[in-house]
Amino acid sequence: MIDNQKIKIMGHLVAGYPDTAGFEAACSAMSDSGIAILEIQIPFSDPTADGPENTGAGEAALRNGFKVEDFYRYLNFASARGFDEIHVMTYANIIFRYGIRKFIDDMNKAKVTGVIVPDLPIEDEEGFYSYASQDGVAVDAVPVAVVNMIPERIEMLRNLHAERCYVSLRQGVTGTKTVMDNDTIQFLDSLGVPKLYAGFGISTRDQVDALQGHAYAAVVGSHFTRTIRNAGSDPKIIYREMYNNAIKFS
């Protein structure tokens, strides 16, 4: 169990989706509705943890010409919206091509709270965690755990002494139904990480409430991406629909 403060919501957006104006509208609606934490995903051509909604959003952003260097436009906009935390979600190949140290340094300068890399195994992370833990680096390298992962991997996770951990509430990809059963709750309680960000398939307030006292934040991703897709291309409609959906969670 973690302390009993009210669980926070981390909303997930894909940079460049559906376009710049649409992203800004969705981001503004999230902050205006009281969503405390934002996770921005860098679109990638070969995602391994994205379900159909986020995969489609990333593909659309890439078709529209998104490049990694464009990411700072979206990050700077989000930073001005007053979120308590901003996390960047990306894939290992992007960081390796960019350069691990340079990527972490640039995220640190941008005052990003944490970097989440779902396809980066702890045993083959090439200095990602150790560099982020150095003095003067405020951005956290956030490891990813999966419910029911084997004890050996849990021990590897604990040995990182991470303050934050992203937890996939089930194996597989995002966007399908997730059930909060006793095994899931017991797994969360067993990790011993101060701040757990629990996601994959969160789409209702009941799911969030089930995590109260067991996670620091609930991550709402595919649900919000679907909201944007259904809203179409008009930024005003995207803002309205995103706000109406986000307010239910905040």
Residue 177, number of CB atoms within 10 A of its CB: 8
List of residues 6+ apart from 148 with CB closer than 8 A: 171, 183, 187
Q: Within 193-234, where are the H helices?
A: 205-211, 222-231
For the stretch 186-205, pLDDT in tens is 999 999 899 999 998 899 99
* Identified catalytic residue from 19, 32, 50, 84: 50
Identify whether 24 is a catalytic site residue.
no
Nearest to 110 by CA among 79, 82, 136, 146: 79
Identify whether 39 is a catalytic site residue.
yes
Q: For residues 215-230, give the mean pLDDT.
A: 96
For the stretch 98-137, pLDDT in tens is 999 999 999 999 999 999 999 998 888 888 998 998 888 9
More reliable by pLDDT, 158 or 51: 158
* Identified catalytic residue from 19, 32, 39, 125: 39
pLDDT classification of 3: cutoffs 50, 70, 90: low
DSSP 161: T
Q: How far apart are CA 90 and CA 141, in angstroms?
A: 12
With a cut of 80, say whether residue 173 has pLDDT above it: no
For the stretch 75-102, pLDDT in tens is 999 999 999 999 999 999 999 999 999 9
Residue 143 CB-density burial (10 A; 0-12 exposed, 13-18 middle, 19+ buried): buried
Task: State which fold the 8-246 domain adopts.
Answer: TIM Barrel (3.20.20)
Q: How far apart are CA 193 and CA 89, in angstroms?
A: 19
Q: Percent of the chain scored above 90 by pLDDT? A: 78
With a cut of 80, say whether residue 69 has pLDDT above it: yes
Beta bridge mates, 114:
87, 140
Q: What is the CA radius of gyration of the chain?
A: 17
| pTM for the full predicted model | 0.93
